Amino acid sequence: MRRLILLLSKRQSRFASSHWLLLLLLTLGFTAGWKCAQASTPTNAPPQLKNLLTQIDTAANQRNVKAVMQFYSPSFKHGDGLNYQTMEQALNALWKQYPQLRYSTQLQSWKPQGNVIIADTVTKITSLPSPNNNNIALSATITSRQQVSGGKILRQDILSERTQVTSGSKPPQIDFKLPQQVTIGQQYNFDAIVQEPLGEDYILGTALEEPIQANKYLSPTPVDLELLSSGGLFKIGKAPMTPGSQWVSAVIMRGDGMTMITQRMQVVKK
């Protein structure tokens, strides 16, 4: 009963679904002066490229925004509509809330395209729970593609991403199932199932689907939590009729903690 009262007292509470947290894209400093004749794999990537990736991770792990932004062109463009200025703002806001983030980047592939280098990377970001911050922890995996020229990143596109944020002493363990890609107008299943037995516990939760827009990075969406009658979220969604990218999130809270998982879903033409 104690857990029920605790949860129902939060029934009307609203919190920010911080999708700008997904802007964890500090992975991508490159120099574009390499001469190469064909697409290359990480095993034969130039030492300069490997070293520079290490330098970018180091700057990100030190939360040095200026050091990171020196690798972005002033005319930088992002597939989600961000630019140089909004990128810098988002990084400052992110590191203010998560001062202990750790970054690790791996190069998947790279190839020349005229005077531009096309590089695909996978970045893992983690933040361990802190007792001073309600045990909030973050983990994310982001696959992205960069266009680089003259030592600057000209453009960046996210190919896939998933972020998990937890808080409290015992956040629920969630089995999150969502397709990474659907066609326009397609129906799809979206499940977020609590893996532990509930016993006498009660849970709150909600699902959120929204198009990815630049203003969402700095203006999080308020979310209403509802009392769930089962051990998770079970939804049938329908993709929009226009191509693009969607953020699909599940938020589940129980008496001892909260878990939020957000995944990018690509909507493509048939």
- Look up the domain containing 58 and give its range: 20-161
Cross-strand partners of 142:
123, 161
Residue 143 corresponds to which amino acid? T
Contact 117, 110 (CB under 8 A): yes
pLDDT digits (tens, 9 = 90+) for 229-259: 788 999 999 999 999 999 999 999 988 899 9
Structural domain count of the chain: 2
Per-residue pLDDT of the chain (270 residues; tens, 9 = 90+): 333 333 333 333 344 444 434 444 444 433 333 333 344 456 777 666 676 677 778 888 999 999 988 888 999 999 988 899 988 888 888 888 788 889 988 889 888 888 888 889 899 999 888 777 788 899 999 999 988 887 788 999 999 999 999 999 889 999 999 999 999 999 999 999 999 887 777 889 999 998 887 666 656 677 788 998 788 999 999 999 999 999 999 999 988 899 999 999 999 998
The structure tokens listed for 145 are 């593609």
Same domain membership, residue 142 and residue 208: no
- Structural domain ending residue among the three candidates 117, 142, 161: 161
- Structural domain ending residue among the three candidates 132, 161, 190: 161
In the chain, the largest separation of any two C-alpha atoms, in whole Å, equals 68
**Torsion sign over Cα 171, 128, 141, 17:** positive
Same domain membership, residue 228 and residue 123: no
| pTM: predicted TM-score of the whole model, two decimal places | 0.82
Cα 143 to Cα 24, 104, 234: the distances in Å are 11, 12, 27
Measured at the CA of 58, the angle between CA 53 and CA 64, to 5 degrees, comes to 115
Q: What is the CATH number of the domain that holds 177?
A: 2.20.130.20
Same domain membership, residue 154 and residue 27: yes
Same domain membership, residue 186 and residue 99: no
Supply the pLDDT for residue 98: 81
Same domain membership, residue 37 and residue 67: yes
Describe the strand order of the beta sheet including 174-177 as a list of residue ranges. Answer: 174-177, 187-194, 232-238
